Amino acid sequence: MSTLDTLKQGETATIQTFNDAFLSLKLIEMGCLPGETVKLAYTAPFGDPIAIEVSGYTLSLRKQEASTVVVSVNTKN
Amino acid sequence: MTNPLPHISIALVGNPNSGKSTLFNSLTGLNQKTGNYAGVTVDKHYGTYKYNNTSVTVTDLPGTYSLFPKSMDEEVACKALLSEGEKVDVAIIVVDASNLKRHLLLATQVIDLKMPCVLALNMIDEADKSNITIYVSELEKLLGIDVIPIDSRNKKGIEDLQKAVVKAKISNTVFYNFEKQKELLPDCASYTDIIKEDLSVKGLNTNAVNDFELADNIHRFSTINYIIAKCVKQPQHVNKSVTQKLDQFFTHKIFGFLFFLLILFIVFQFIFFIAEYPMSWIEDGFLFLMNFTSGILPKGQLNDLIVNGVLAGISGIVVFIPQIALLFFFIAILEDTGYMARASFILDKLMRRFGLNGKSVIPMISSVACAVPSIMSTRTIMNWKDRMITILVTPLISCSARLPVYTLLIGIMFAGKESLGIFSYQGLVLMGMYLLGFAAALIAAIVLKYVLKTKEKSYFIMELPVYRKPQLQTVIMLVFDKVKVFLFDAGKIILAISIILWFLTSHAPGNAFSTIEKNALAQQTIKQVNKYELNSQKLEASYAGILGKKIEPAIKPLGFDWKIGIALITSFAAREVFVGTMATIYSTGDTENSETLREKLMSEKEYETGKPVYTSAVCWSLLVFYAFAMQCMSTLATTYRETKHWKWPAVQLVFMSGLAYLSSLLVYTVLS
């Protein structure tokens, strides 16, 4: 298990659970549901914030916020 | 006998980026107004249209992602939808057809409020282009309400939507998690009650409501997944290559910043240099009008009030229009294309440490031209605290009205000593003043980051919308709206203050003025009395002159005499008025040319000691004072308009003037 902020560019993962109650409410209404696939699209020039692809659109969030999202990294097949 | 037209009131509700505002423009055209919701800083946009025999009032609610608000804007949208305040008869739920899954969350929540609804399936053209097929009648069946495909940008489907609105129905389907509600919130009889409970307990222990929200949203999304599977056919890979390629460029380590700098440069050129032309046309036009009016009206008090009080005041308001219009022209394009979200994204880390937002950068750079349009442009900052900090610190940045003051003072200080090697002293000091302004703004921002308290939680979870072509109508509507809001809301405060200032400088207690005029007439036989000298004597005798003398003890420690005191009072209208007032006091004529004034000031000697008055200590002290002091009624009026509370302009006035006083005191004490 790792967290969303540790993904490398282009890597995909599946959302498992959340560590922060308030942020989880916000993230879920933005389409970050447990079981949903996310992909790290790109990062900002200073490495933070990051942009992810989820539920068919692009979402940006800070690394600290991404670190509250527990994911399992998908292995390439 | 004719019956009055039946009237219904509808609200547009949807996620940000659902194209809600474009739809609002398409529905109402020019019949729209901007008002405000009670007690909050959110603007209320409403308008009207007629369909058959029904007159319809439309309110464009602030964008929201769900009915459990996470920000003040969202709270306003929820409360309005629950008909707190004005009654809403029908809700048009606006969704992005190419992004249906996420948008259906809010849609199903609104349906659960058991109010008549219509779903506007917006951006159907983009869905078509991405080969997404939506089975509308199937979707209608599952949601229980009418679904109308529209393309608000090209005004397609608008009439179908209007037709559906007048026969909108309440859905029989229930989407919320009934079991969880019974378990966690047994006192709530309906979904509406749950939302009301959430709105009323904000800030208290909201565990039960939060737990419900979490369980309900997960429950909802599983229903939505079923709906999507039934109603939407989409290709495996949605083609978004254009947005992806543009993002690679706009968020690139080097090109991303270079492009942002280019945007800043263009915006800056327009509001700093290009805006000068229309601004001087407006000023010349008003001067002509003032001379003309003064000529046709009978001489006297009323003439003076209308010409130098009212017309001069209105001129001082209208002159802001070019800068406001140009800045919002660019901001509307940047927002409408989706670029603004990227600018915010690449700058976030840099600005975060100052308690600011990526979107604070454009307002702050623009305030080198003028703080008024800059403060208005902070509307794009969604987070309340970031927005307040930006509004409060922006006026510290040296604006173009300070330039004439700086030029005059630097000219006195470095007369004869033109350069240091290849650099001119003037240029170096001027640059130093601009840097001082930026540094002060950033330091003040850091302080405010710790001082300002908010119950709104801060986060940076933001949608990066797909790039779209900017729409002329959207851009023009925004520019018009901003100009109108400034003219009528901030304008009336500015006009009131300028009339007060006019009264202070043009009136004197008793018959002081007529004595001065009589003396002048008596002297005329001996020598020709200069018109400028007469004006100088009058200003000294006026209420403003008396006030200037009254405050002399307070400003003496800064090295200022009563003559500067008068200029401090009059330049509350705008900083550049300092130069004009000094010219009047020193009888050099109220001209643009500060050359003669500079010489006059340099040769000014103290009466008792014969030492020069404008020493470098005094000049430095004045420079620093004008860098920091809140000497601008228009900025205060704009801050009031944008924060809807007198507290904030008062805070600005006290903290900036306090900072100016202490800094000048320090500078003068050290240098003299």
pLDDT tens per residue across span A29-45: 999 999 999 999 999 98
| Smallest CA–CA distance from B348 into chain A, residue | A49
CB atoms within 10 A of CB B36: 15
Give residue B1's pLDDT.
45
> Which residues of chain A neighbour B457 with C-beta distances below 8 Å?
22
CB contact under 8 Å between A29 and B350, yes or no, is no
**Of the candidates A28, A56, A60, which has its C-beta nearest B238's C-beta?**
A56
Q: What is the pLDDT of residue B240?
A: 64
Residues 6+ apart with CB under 8 A from B554: none
Chain A residues with CB under 8 Å of B253 CB are 45
CB spacing of A51 vs B252 below 8 angstroms: no
Q: Which pLDDT score, from 0 to 100, does residue B594 have?
A: 57
Question: Measured between CB atoms, which of B70, B256, B348 is closest to A26?
Answer: B70
Dihedral-angle region of residue B487 (phi above 0 means left; psi in -120 to 50 means alpha; beta otherwise): alpha
- B411 contact A CB<8A: no
Question: Whole-angstrom Cα distance, residue B552 to residue B559?
Answer: 10
Contact A51 B251 (CB under 8 A): yes
Candidates A23, A33, A49; nearest CB to B345: A49
Q: Where are the domains of chain A?
A: 2-73
Partners of B216 on chain A (C-beta within 8 Å) are: none
CB atoms within 10 A of CB B299: 9
Mean pLDDT value of segment A6-35: 92
CB contact under 8 A, B102 and A31: yes
- Give pLDDT, residue B309: 87
Q: Is B214 within 8 Å of A48 when comparing Cβ atoms?
A: no
Query: Which of B101, B253, B465 faces A45 most closely, judged by CB atoms?
Result: B253
Phi first, then psi: what are they for B3, rounded to 5°?
-80, 145
Helix (H, G, I), strand (E, B) or coil at B327: helix
* Chain B residues touching residue A57 (CB < 8 angstroms): 99, 102, 463-466
Q: How far is A1 from chain B (nearest CA, A)?
A: 22
Residues of chain A in contact with residue B245, where contact means CB-CB under 8 angstroms, are: none
The alpha-carbon gap from A14 to the nearest alpha carbon of chain B, in Å, equals 16
Q: Please, what are the averages of pLDDT over each run of 10 residues along chain B (672 residues)?
A: 75 92 90 76 87 92 91 88 87 94 95 95 91 94 96 92 94 87 84 87 67 91 94 76 88 92 89 89 93 90 88 90 91 89 91 87 88 90 88 94 89 76 79 93 94 80 90 89 88 89 87 78 62 80 91 93 91 88 75 69 79 89 95 94 91 95 95 88
Answer whether B349 sits within 8 Å of A44, measured CB to CB: yes
Question: Would the CB atoms of A45 and B457 count as touching at under 8 Å?
Answer: no
A contacts of B251 (beta carbons < 8 Å): 42, 44-45, 51
Cα(B557)–Cα(B612) distance, integer angstroms: 17
- CA–CA separation, A22 vs A20, rounded Å? 6
The pLDDT value given to residue B602: 85
Q: How far is A37 from chain B (nearest CA, A)?
A: 14
Burial B65-102, CB ≥16 within 10 A → b, else e? bbbbbbbbbbbbbbbbbbeeeeebbbbbbbbbbbbbbb
Q: Does B214 touch chain A (CB under 8 A)?
A: yes
B611 touches chain A (CB under 8 A): no
Spell out the alpha helix ranges (H) of B89-206: 100-112, 124-129, 136-143, 158-166, 178-184, 191-200
- Inter-chain residue contact B102 with A58, CB threshold 8 Å: no
Q: What's the CATH architecture for B1-237? A: 3-Layer(aba) Sandwich (3.40)
Out of B257, B457, B462, the one facing A60 most closely (by C-beta) is B462
Q: In this complex, do B462 and A59 lie within 8 Å of one another by their Cβ atoms?
A: yes
Contact B459 A55 (CB under 8 A): no
Strands B117-122, B90-96: pairing kind: parallel
> Which of chain A's residues have a Cβ under 8 Å away from the Cβ of B214?
24-25, 28
Task: Give the span between the Cα atoms of B18 and B152, in whole angstroms.
Answer: 10
Q: Are B420 and B393 in contact (CB under 8 A)?
A: no
Closest CA to B376 of B22, B630, B634: B634
Q: Residue ranges of the domains in chain B? A: 1-237
Positive or negative torsion for Cα B510, B512, B518, B522 = positive
- Architecture (CATH level 2) of domain A2-73: Roll (2.30)
% of chain A surpassing 70 pLDDT: 97
Which residues touch B64 (CB under 8 Å, ≥6 apart)? B13, B14, B15, B16, B73, B74, B77, B78, B106
The answer to whether the beta carbons of residues B168 and B145 sit under 8 Å apart is yes
Q: Is B66 on the interface with A (CB under 8 A)?
A: yes
Q: For residue A49, is the peptide bond before it cis, meaning its omega torsion is within 30 degrees of 0?
A: yes
Phi, then psi, of B250 in degrees rounded to 5: -70, -20
Nearest to B459 among A26, A42, A46 (CB): A26
Residue type, B372: V
Instruction: Give how far B210 is from chain A: nearest CA, Å.
Output: 8
Helix (H, G, I), strand (E, B) or coil at B311: helix
Q: Quick one: closest CA in A to B97, which residue?
A: A56
Q: What is the pTM of this model?
A: 0.86
Q: Which of B345, B351, B458 to mutate to test the interface with A (most CBs of A within 10 A)?
A: B345
- Test B463 with A57 for CB contact under 8 angstroms: yes
- pLDDT of B535: 81
What are the two backbone dihedrals, phi and then psi, of residue B190, each rounded to the nearest 5 degrees? -150, 175
ipTM of the complex: 0.95
Q: What is the pLDDT of residue A15?
A: 95
User: Residue A76 — very low, low, confident or very high, per pLDDT cuts 50/70/90?
Assistant: low
